[in-house]
Chains A and B, each alone.
Chain A
């Protein structure tokens, strides 16, 4: 893991579904902003996010520069049980990546 704790996440069993919330740390630079010296700040953004449940892909996200800084994401899955493993991995346009894995807990 590149940086172990830059992804905060939670997966809570809420009756019929499990709600997965993910908060990532990333500047999400568009490549259109300028710094104090009037120089363009190069684009730096997450392009791909994959979430798996017990190793099976449940969500495949592709992002552009229009996702806000420090991206936040919530979605829901059916069929997960307490203790099931939920993992997330992202890749950005600089080739960097980060991942995190947690277990499904009770709400």
Chain B
């Protein structure tokens, strides 16, 4: 049993190590942006200088969320050459929820489930061809999902 556990742990380490070394990992995750409390700080952490409001970003989310612990959000961008989609919630303890970068044939579309502390705008920022575009959608939250 001990030997098996060891082998399992070891092979996991080996595989993880091969695919992405730990030091590289620390460099990839944007700590400054994810630690930010406010929308503004998070956006400067993501190095978003300025953004244009766009109707080519679609956000599908419930008008009212019974429980803020699980709010399903579907986002698609019709902006040509969309490279990434960032999701922010203005009134959460930390504003930045997720950042998705698409490559090698991935379409600018994502469905994800997020936590919301209270009624707030969900803000989406799309990066396309070195420019930033944004859209927002308000979700009324009945029960705090951030614990």
Which of A's residues lie within 8 Å of B, judged by CB? 1-2, 17, 30, 32-33, 47-48, 50, 53, 56-69, 71-80, 89, 91, 95, 97-99
> Helix, strand, loop or mixed for chain A's interface?
strand
User: Among the listed B8, B11, B28, B113, which residue makes an inter-chain contact with A48, where contact means beta carbons less than 8 Å apart?
Assistant: B28
User: Is there an interface contact between A48 and B29, defined as CB atoms closer than 8 Å?
Assistant: yes
User: Among the listed B20, B96, B105, B114, which residue makes an inter-chain contact with A68, where contact means beta carbons less than 8 Å apart?
Assistant: B114
Taken together as a complex, chains A and B put the C-alpha atoms of A97 and B25 apart, in Å, by: 11
User: Is there an interface contact between A76 and B109, defined as CB atoms closer than 8 Å?
Assistant: yes
User: Is there an interface contact between B103 and A57, defined as CB atoms closer than 8 Å?
Assistant: yes
Residues of B within 8 A of A56 (CB): 103-104
Which residue of the partner chain A has the closest CB to B117? Answer: A66
Which residue of the partner chain B has the closest CB to A56? Answer: B104
Taken together as a complex, chains A and B put the C-alpha atoms of A97 and B107 apart, in Å, by: 26
B53 interface hit (Cβ, 8 Å): no
User: Is there an interface contact between B114 and A99, defined as CB atoms closer than 8 Å?
Assistant: no
> Helix, strand, loop or mixed for chain B's interface?
mixed
Residues of A within 8 A of B16 (CB): 2, 89, 91, 97, 99
User: Is there an interface contact between A60 and B101, defined as CB atoms closer than 8 Å?
Assistant: yes
User: Among the listed A64, A73, A74, A89, which residue makes an inter-chain contact with B19, where contact means beta carbons less than 8 Å apart?
Assistant: A89
Residues of B within 8 A of A57 (CB): 103-104
Which of B's residues lie within 8 Å of A, judged by CB? 8-9, 11-12, 15-16, 19-20, 22, 25, 28-30, 34, 69-72, 89, 92-94, 96-107, 109-116, 145-147
User: Is there an interface contact between A66 and B96, defined as CB atoms closer than 8 Å?
Assistant: yes
Residues of A within 8 A of B89 (CB): 66
Residues of B within 8 A of A73 (CB): 110-112
Residues of B within 8 A of A69 (CB): 69-70
User: Is there an interface contact between A62 and B34, defined as CB atoms closer than 8 Å?
Assistant: yes
Taken together as a complex, chains A and B put the C-alpha atoms of A46 and B56 apart, in Å, by: 30
User: Is there an interface contact between A77 and B34, defined as CB atoms closer than 8 Å?
Assistant: no
Residues of A within 8 A of B8 (CB): 2
